[in-house]
Structure 1
Amino acid sequence: MKCLLVEDDRALADALVNALGDGDWLVEQALTGQEADFLVRTEAYDALILDVGLPDGDGTRWLAAWRDDGIDLPVLILTARERWADKAAGFSAGADDYVTKPFEAAEVLFRLHALVRRSHGHAHPIIKVGELSLDTHTQHVTLAGRPIGLTAQETRLLSYLMHAAPRVVGRTELSEHVYDRDHEPDSNVIDVQVSRLRRKLGAWRIVTRRGQGYHLVADASNPS
């Protein structure tokens, strides 16, 4: 999963980047609303963490403009403002959740996972596709109750496919949501990583749809 962090406090931003990275998130950063505005309109993200007090205007103003233009990714607001009126303004602008400073980085991570999970239609923190399970809080994967050892990149790739299942996910979408925009993979890299997942999980679980992409299936007898 890939997140855009819009925060001008560099110390706080660094702490969040480290925490999110430990949770297998790819994090891109913006220091101003204007920089964030360019990125959300040109790049694909699974969620956005938005500070309210930005150097070039209130974060809720930028958020309201994005919502007006149909940009609907999940947004978690960070702010030192604790008044209900300020929280109401954030939700009215289109925020999905709200965390006040100071906060624990782990809380942000939990809330972010919940936002993305719900955006894909999953209420429970454990996502299951047949015997395959993903704990969205810990990013641990099990198959029939047995832990599966995956690399960080394999975990991000599988997590995205599991969130999207049973929908077919195209190569471009995978490239945008699973890989850093400064290190976007060629098609062979995705093929290699999918092949590694198939060896670890069972080849039939990840079906290739020619000209469309990949999707996870729950039952070997019904790969549709």
Structure 2
Amino acid sequence: MTQASSGCIHCLKQLEIVMKILFFGTYLDNRDVLTAFFKSKLAVADETSDPEEALDLVRFYDYDAVVLRIADSRPNEVDLIRRLRIGGLRCPIIAVAHALAEPTRLRVLEAGIDDLIVSAMSQDEIFLRVQNQVRRSRGFQSPSLVIGTVEINMNAKKIFTAGTEVSLTKKEYQIVEILALRKGCVLSKEAILDHLYGGLDEPNPKIIDVFICKIRKKLAALGAGELIETNWGRGYMVAEKRAMPTPAIERAGIEGSAGHRPGSGALLRVGT
């Protein structure tokens, strides 16, 4: 694998997705800087070449994806894919290789891989393909996550509500993105810290309360203050708001007063 060339598209240089990734396998060669590259994009990365340790890690930590280094000479990686799937791992599994013979490719695909990346042109390509797998696994088909009136553009790293950009700091944006990708799930303050800092130099968990407060004020100023909900004693979550159905009595009253239903002639009486 090669480093991204100096002529890389500008928007790719700006990508900084907050993902927690488990990398498995020994380095493919001395040009393999995949883990370091993902960290440079602010991804949190764990790494191991021990299959048993990998299985333990996915049991105890919530990973967004597992990335495996694959080679024809190392069949253990294929066996690990099967064991991860049998164990109930739901996050995307992506295999990366410099070159791979067709029989090995077929075994990898049959084992239940989500994407197989062979001879990628750059680290950026691998990063974007992993990001796309994570996004789709969370139920979003577009690079922009749309929740109610709020749009989260993962490529531009910007948030809009009703077409107006919300001015957020880098950490504030990352928190919104983390919660949006896990829409409907409660994340504890400790889990959010883990995704932001990866266990390194983490501040007091109460800092998350401060971030959330500032985010809510900025969203509220643009009419979207209810995006992030508090689950008392557990943490925070993003839940998509759905329009409540019109009550039957209200509908009947509207229809009766409109007078556009010939022959109905009935008025709704309450408390007769």
Matched, 1:105 2:105: no
Map Cα deviations across residues 48-93 of structure 1 (whole Å, 9 max, x no partner): 1110139975311112111112122211100133333322211222
Aligned counterpart for 2:150 among listed residues 132, 135, 138: 132
Aligned counterpart for 1:3 among listed residues 11, 16, 21: 21
TM-score scaled to structure 1, two decimals?
A: 0.80
Aligned twin of 2:230: 208
Aligned twin of 2:135: 117
Alpha-carbon distance, 1:122 to partner: 1.4
Looking at structure 1, the residues matched to 174 and 25 of structure 2 have their Cα atoms a distance apart, in angstroms, of 24
Alpha carbons 2:71, 2:99 under 8 Å: kept = no
Looking at structure 1, the residues matched to 51 and 185 of structure 2 have their Cα atoms a distance apart, in angstroms, of 33
Residue ranges of structure 1 left out of the alignment (5+ in a row): none
Secondary structure class of the residue paired with 2:226: helix
Looking at structure 1, the residues matched to 44 and 156 of structure 2 have their Cα atoms a distance apart, in angstroms, of 15
Aligned length: 220
Looking at structure 2, the residues matched to 101 and 95 of structure 1 have their Cα atoms a distance apart, in angstroms, of 17
Looking at structure 2, the residues matched to 56 and 176 of structure 1 have their Cα atoms a distance apart, in angstroms, of 32
Alpha-carbon distance, 1:129 to partner: 1.4
Secondary structure class of the residue paired with 2:142: coil
Map Cα deviations across residues 173-216 of structure 1 (whole Å, 9 max, x no partner): 53554541345554312212212221322243322132343233
Larger helix proportion of the pair:
1
The correspondence of residues 76-91 of structure 1 with structure 2, limited to 5 A, is 76-91=94-109
Secondary structure class of the residue paired with 1:41: helix
Give the alignment's Cα RMSD to 1 decimal: 3.1
Secondary structure class of the residue paired with 1:134: strand
CA 1:39 to 1:123, structure 2 compared with 1: closer, same or farther past 3 Å?
Answer: same
Alpha-carbon distance, 1:145 to partner: 2.8
Looking at structure 1, the residues matched to 72 and 215 of structure 2 have their Cα atoms a distance apart, in angstroms, of 41
Aligned counterpart for 1:95 among listed residues 113, 120, 127: 113
Aligned counterpart for 2:213 among listed residues 195, 198, 206: 195
Aligned counterpart for 2:33 among listed residues 14, 26, 39: 14
Alpha-carbon distance, 1:15 to partner: 4.5
Name which of structure 1's ranges 191-200 and 80-89 shifts more when overlaid on structure 2.
Answer: 80-89
Task: Give identity over the alignment, percent.
Answer: 23
Alpha carbons 1:3, 1:25 under 8 Å: kept = yes
TM-score scaled to structure 2, two decimals?
A: 0.68
Secondary structure class of the residue paired with 1:204: coil
Alpha carbons 1:32, 1:55 under 8 Å: kept = no
Looking at structure 2, the residues matched to 200 and 22 of structure 1 have their Cα atoms a distance apart, in angstroms, of 28
